[in-house]
Structures are given as structure tokens and as C-alpha cells.
Amino acid sequence: MPLHRPDKSKAQPSGKELKKRQTYKQGLKAERWAMWILRAKGYSIRAQRYKAQGGEIDLIAQKGKSLVFVEVKYRQSLEDALYSITPRNQARIVAASQHYLANHSCEAFETFRFDVMAFAPKKGLLPRYQHIENAFEAF
């Protein structure tokens, strides 16, 4: 009788890989919460997960004549979420925003800003959150 060799393509993911997947899914969920909250505040969403060479923007929203680039973070505390946005992260967001502005018609906007939406768990269906307008400047 031949020996059975396990199919490596069906191997169980490592603990590290499972954690990475869970973090990714939680980030997507936080982005959906952010979109819902922003829409409730009167924003319209222009783009989600906008990628450009050198960076990514989680959400691009508009309200009136303001175009808003939004970074969304989910951590175990709001403080951890806010501190996770490093100068390097900010530079990547700025690079992606410059790409967006260069490749989309944005003449109608009078202001551009960078907001942060931080999320942390709490009991119940919705997490705790904090929306910081003009969280950092670049232009």
C-alpha cells in the first residue's frame, strides 16, 4: 500500500498567518464602520482603499467643498490606534493623496484635509470610535 503524503497546498495556516487574516478582516470591518459613520455625518464616499505607488488611503470622502483623506485604525484601545499612525504612515498617505489629486478632477474643492478614524472594541455591536478632523497636515 502506498504511503499517503499530505497535500501541502491544504496545510493549515500558521498562527501568525491566522492572526494576519484576522487583523485584515478587522480592518475591513473598521472601514465599513467608518463609511457608515461618515455617511451619517453627511459625507459621501468617493473611494475606498485607494492604492498608488508608495501608499494607500483607506477612504476618500467629500463633504461640501472639502475633500477628505481618511486613515482608519482599529486597535485594542483608541490611544493605541491613534499612536499607530506614525510619520512614515503619514508620508505614505500624503504620497497616495498627491497621486489621487494629480489623476482626478478636484478643482471644485476648496479644502483638502487628512482625518483619522480610530476604533477600539467595547461590549455590544459597535466599537468605540474617535473621528479626528485635520489630524495632520501636508499641504
Domain 15-136 has CATH 3.40.1350.10: yes
Question: Rounded to the nearest 10 degrees, how much is the dihedral formed by the CA atoms of 87, 90, 96, 97?
Answer: -130
> pLDDT of 10-43, one tens digit each?
667 788 888 888 888 888 999 999 999 999 999 9
Percent of the chain scoring above 70 in pLDDT: 91
Residue 78's pLDDT is 94
Could you give the 3-state DSSP secondary structure of residue 131? strand
> pLDDT of 45-68, one tens digit each?
999 999 998 899 999 999 999 999
**How much is the pTM?**
0.85
Backbone angles phi, psi at 122, to 5 degrees: -155, 165
Looking at the DSSP bridge assignments, the partners of residue 116 are: 71, 132
Q: Where are the domains of the chain?
A: 15-136
Residue 79 has pLDDT above 90, yes or no: yes
